[in-house]
Amino acid sequence: MSTLGAQTGPGEHSRHGAAAAAAAQAGTRLDQWFSSYADRAHGMRASEVRSLFAVANRPEVVSLAGGMPNIDGLPLEHIAEMTAKLLRERGTRALQYGGGQGEEELREQIVEVMRYDHVAAHPDDIVVTTGSQQALDLVTEIFINPGDVIVAEAPSYVGALGVFRAYQADVVHVTMDDDGLVPADLDRTLTELERAGRTVKFLYTVPNFHNPAGVSLSLERRPQIVEICRRHHVLILEDNPYGLLGFDGDPMPALKSYDPDGVVYLGSFSKTFAPGYRVGWAAAPHAVREKLVLASESAILSPTMMGQLSISSYLSTFDWYGQVKEYRQMYRERRDAMLSALAEFLPGARWTVPDGGFYTWVTLPEGLDAQAMLPRAVTNLVAYVSGTAFYADGQGRGHMRLSFCYPTPARIREGVRRLSTVVRAEAELVDMFGTTPHARRGDSVEIPSPDQV
């Protein structure tokens, strides 16, 4: 559902900033720099979930919350040898600063990786970044003025929403269904925004194995989305960290393959190899790529040389695609465990059926509030992320994101069983007293911890 009614105008930002500052002041007497912060910093605070996570990360808790890839299957012996060789033979390069755009050798390999998504890019089009998270930040930095609109799926990746809010963008959500973003709703939303005189800078979308929704944009809809954005002169920011992790068949063509000049594509080695290297990339139209490099140089000077050269060696000395196929098999087993546990223990709920990636999106029985229920779930030794984290405007209480990437199939089953006891108890309370009271939500930006994204 579009949330046009929930937008804020540019003038309201300063009022929000002042209100957030006043509200926060009472609780921060210890910070002598309080009055010096920029408005956007006043709005940043750890999400409620983040505080709970200190507890949720204890081993006795089954966490269906985090998006941490399971990297137990990595060939650590090979990586150790590869790293030793890299340091021995190219150590002074690997431990030196590098160019702002990233190593050419790696950019050439990235072009090959993107061929799996049907994208024909050139190494000059690529900017290597500190994970795709930094690419999200850079794109937002170069395009967004306070009050500009970013159109994004409902729900959207929590880490992107944090960036968008930090740059004081207004996020307007567009409906998704089991086939991903709904073209008619996108078209209508962009038309209404134009009529209202709003400046829409880009569409942010995760077309494959969506985080958090678990759905993918159908093949049929891909050219439609591209055509709608082209007609409204809206850039597409295509975020694709999970594209190679499909359980059935080959990846679908990226949006970038339909309109190379209309799309900035973000990729990552975090899910297909290992997140610890913190290497991702943006593939952008030429002029945009230049701005991204300048913005990146000003933020970090150059991306990690050690990380880039390590990934480069891995891609050239190991059957990396074979490893991706093993990951697919392992995640598919976990997805199956999640779906059968949901069918066994949570028959009153609905959930999406992911064909890849890490997540399923659960819709709770009517009247249940995932955010209010979370502390009780953690007390019952199971954790999830409440749907509210994935909307810019406080929607999502009736939903939760469950991830199946990290726990073993047996732990997933046990986690869902524990969850079902909490849901049942909650449903009884709702039957007796009506809907559980909603916690107040302020104007602040909820920043999740890295293991929650």
Ligand X SMILES: Cc1ncc(COP(=O)(O)O)c(C=O)c1O
Question: Do residues 426 and 373 lie in contact, with contact meaning Cβ atoms separated by under 8 Å?
Answer: yes
| H/E element, 410 | helix 409-433
- DSSP 8-class letter at 13: H
Give the separation between CA 17 and CA 165, rounded to whole angstroms: 12
To ligand X, the closest distance from the beta carbon of 392 in angstroms equals 15
Nearer to ligand X, 187 or 239 (CB): 239
Nearer to ligand X, 132 or 168 (CB): 132
Give the separation between CA 259 and CA 253, rounded to whole angstroms: 11
Give the separation between CA 364 and CA 435, rounded to whole angstroms: 13
- How does strand 200-205 pair with strand 180-181? unpaired
Nearer to ligand X, 242 or 345 (CB): 242
Strand-pair partners of 172? 151
Q: Which residue has the tokens 């659960």?
A: 362
CB neighbourhood size of 277 (10 A) = 18
290, with CB counted inside 10 A (0-12, 13-18, 19+), is: middle
Give the separation between CA 215 and CA 200, rounded to whole angstroms: 25
Give the separation between CA 346 and CA 308, rounded to whole angstroms: 44
Q: Give Cα separations from 194 to 59, 187, 202, 217, 232 (angstroms).
A: 50, 11, 13, 25, 9
Question: Do residues 330 and 275 lie in contact, with contact meaning Cβ atoms separated by under 8 Å?
Answer: no
To ligand X, the closest distance from the beta carbon of 406 in angstroms equals 12
Nearer to ligand X, 20 or 154 (CB): 154
To ligand X, the closest distance from the beta carbon of 159 in angstroms equals 6
Give the separation between CA 233 and CA 235, rounded to whole angstroms: 7
To ligand X, the closest distance from the beta carbon of 370 in angstroms equals 19
Nearer to ligand X, 143 or 242 (CB): 242
To ligand X, the closest distance from the beta carbon of 42 in angstroms equals 25
Nearer to ligand X, 138 or 305 (CB): 138
To ligand X, the closest distance from the beta carbon of 416 in angstroms equals 22
Residues that bind ligand X (CB under 6 A): 67, 131-133, 157, 159, 206, 211, 239, 241, 268, 270, 275, 280, 453
Nearer to ligand X, 19 or 71 (CB): 71
H helix and E strand count, the chain: 14, 16
Q: Which amino acid is at 24?
A: A
Nearer to ligand X, 62 or 266 (CB): 266
To ligand X, the closest distance from the beta carbon of 207 in angstroms equals 10
Nearer to ligand X, 157 or 265 (CB): 157
Question: Do residues 302 and 141 lie in contact, with contact meaning Cβ atoms separated by under 8 Å?
Answer: no
To ligand X, the closest distance from the beta carbon of 102 in angstroms equals 14
Nearer to ligand X, 252 or 368 (CB): 252
Q: Give Cα separations from 361 to 67, 176, 298, 389 (angstroms).
A: 13, 12, 38, 12
Strand-pair partners of 46? 447
To ligand X, the closest distance from the beta carbon of 225 in angstroms equals 17
Nearer to ligand X, 152 or 342 (CB): 152
To ligand X, the closest distance from the beta carbon of 433 in angstroms equals 37
Question: Do residues 147 and 170 lie in contact, with contact meaning Cβ atoms separated by under 8 Å?
Answer: yes
Q: Which amino acid is at 225?
A: I
Report the residue closest to ligand X, judged by CB: 131
Give the separation between CA 130 and CA 109, rounded to whole angstroms: 17
To ligand X, the closest distance from the beta carbon of 129 in angstroms equals 8
Pull the structure tokens for residue 250: 């080959």
Helix 320-345 to helix 409-433 angle, to the nearest 10 degrees?
40
To ligand X, the closest distance from the beta carbon of 277 in angstroms equals 9
Nearer to ligand X, 24 or 283 (CB): 283
